[in-house]
Amino acid sequence: MKDIKSALISVYHKDGIEEIAGKLSGSGVEIYSTGGTYKFIKELGIPVKSVESLTGYPSILGGRVKTLHPKIFGGILGRRDNESDIKEMEEYEIPAIDLVIVDLYPFEEYVAANAPEQEIIEKIDIGGISLIRAAAKNYKDVVIVPSKASYGKLIEILNTNGCKTSIEERKDFAANAFLVSSHYDTAIFDYFNRSANIPVFDKNITEHTELRYGENPHQKGIFFGKKELLPVQLHGKEISHNNLLDIEAAIELISDFEETTVAIIKHNNACGCASSEVLLDAWKKALAGDPVSAFGGIFITNREIDKATAEEMNKLFFEVVIAPSYEKEALEVLESKKNRIILLRADAKPADIRFRSMLGGVLLQDRDTFLEKPSDLKPVTKITPADSEIEDLLFANKLVKHSKSNAIVLAKGKQLYASGIGQTSRVDALKQAIAKAKAFGFDLHGAVMASDAYFPFGDSVEIANGEGINTVIQPGGSIRDQQSIDYCNNNGMSMVFTGKRHFKH
């Protein structure tokens, strides 16, 4: 156990400091402080000495230099069991500092608020970060409280042990101090790297939420990130790891639609989706796509949910519903199941950068944000699609973009008829989609087909034509594209190329 006989307090956020300073002073601890913190403590009537009285130098350069002095850092870094250090501290009249309390300038808050660059630069803390690292390095003798988040832990120790700390407590504080330091430096680097574009993977996310478990009950799960990045939860049980995966997939898909649309997500893929002028109609068409898979799914729409739609949704068991808003009566209907998760999408949006762990490293890529427009479609057959078919082609192409590869989507009238997803061959994906569509009573005559990648052979368009599908959208790019084109021309089919592959693994 080590006694705290002296303390240096230099903080941005003062909440909690009154209690800490009062307890320290009441136990006879000598307190040193800087600038606004010194003034704050002094006005409380608590004995405090200015750092300037110790260093003999005033705060200079507009406050940029206050604590950067040998009498401060010597007092923190001096080893209490090292004879040479003790001798030098005595020679240069450097008092030992046993406790350092710091709360850094809120750099990230200024960046988030899009403050002027000079204001942001001035919020890069120099003295504070140096104090944190010095005190953490000498944790054997010094306690470091590196942020306001640790004030409570210090108060708990002071209440329990008085002004004494154990080596374990000091080491825990030191570990947290280096976390604070690392996170702060990463935030600064990220700001400068907006223009520098240095290739580095440097995520440092401290805010986190413990999940019930990971993908399966025997796996641990944690979500790292700010809660405000997530949709606002209005009702229901705790969101799970698998819920989060489906929620992200749902938000990414619905973000590509402007007209009134409803999608039903299961295991990150759409099992139902439809666009219509009336929300209730969109819901009924989306559900018809696969009413079996909809059980336990995730429902999402880009319009306010009304009572009539909520009543229809409420007839099914489902895990999550997401919408930009809800009518009061609709919310009452949906809240009838206590565990049902009801989310307000608010400002939640997909991240522009995607990354995943891979063989001990990290794969990073841009999110696939490309959205085909009518002008991006290149007709490659003698017959060109009609305007209504182009609408269906673009609708189907949005869905296939968000489906696990290899993927085929069949659609008609802006309604998902069926999809084949996650297959090892494109033909298998098509056969799966056809079988599903037939199982739910859809007539595929006049439907369109979308593929996430090119057809390596002409067999897929031949199979589709045999089911009455006569319009196709695909990226193109196969050395055998002509096989598919020739078959379409010989059988009265139309096909367009987009030039953009949409693999999703």
pLDDT score, position 61: 85
74-99 average pLDDT score = 92
260-265 average pLDDT score = 98
Q: Are 479 and 370 in contact (CB under 8 A)?
A: no
Counting every residue written for the chain, the total comes to 505
pLDDT band at 352 (very low <50, low <70, confident <90, very high): confident
Q: How far apart are CA 375 and CA 498, in angstroms?
A: 9
Q: How far apart are CA 331 and CA 336, in angstroms?
A: 9
Count helices and strands in the chain by DSSP H and E runs = 18, 23
* Residue 134, amino acid: A
DSSP H or E segment with residue 73: helix 70-77
Give yes or no for residue 117 having a pLDDT over 70: yes
pLDDT score, position 62: 79
Give yes or no for residue 32 having a pLDDT over 70: yes
**What is the DSSP-derived secondary structure letter of residue 456?**
S
Minimum mean pLDDT range among 106-115, 440-449, 488-497: 106-115
Higher pLDDT, 174 or 65: 174
Q: Are 403 and 504 in contact (CB under 8 A)?
A: yes
Give yes or no for residue 348 having a pLDDT over 70: no
- Which stretches within 197-295 are classed as H helix? 241-254, 279-288
Our answer to whether residue 137 is catalytic in this structure is: yes
**What is the tens place of the pLDDT at every residue in 366-393?**
999 999 999 999 999 999 999 999 999 9
DSSP H or E segment with residue 379: strand 378-379
Give yes or no for residue 30 having a pLDDT over 70: yes
Considering the candidates 137, 153, 164, 237, report the single residue annotated as catalytic.
137
Give yes or no for residue 423 having a pLDDT over 90: yes
Considering the candidates 267, 307, 337, 438, report the single residue annotated as catalytic.
267
pLDDT score, position 448: 98
* Residue 332, amino acid: E
Long-range contacts of 231-234 (CB under 8 A, 24+ apart): 231/322, 231/343, 231/344, 231/345, 231/346, 231/348, 232/343, 232/344, 232/346, 233/341, 233/342, 233/343, 233/344, 234/326, 234/331, 234/342, 234/343, 234/344
Our answer to whether residue 14 is catalytic in this structure is: no
DSSP H or E segment with residue 495: strand 494-497
**What is the DSSP-derived secondary structure letter of residue 268?**
T
pLDDT score, position 59: 79
**What is the DSSP-derived secondary structure letter of residue 31?**
E
**What is the tens place of the pLDDT at every residue in 229-257?**
889 999 999 999 999 999 999 999 999 99
Minimum mean pLDDT range among 54-68, 178-192, 413-427: 54-68
Left (φ > 0), alpha (ψ -120 to 50) or beta: where does 288 sit? alpha
Percent with pLDDT over 90 in the chain: 83
Burial 240-251 (b: 16+ CB within 10 A, else e): bbbbbebbbbbb
DSSP H or E segment with residue 257: none
55-75 average pLDDT score = 84
Give yes or no for residue 346 having a pLDDT over 90: no
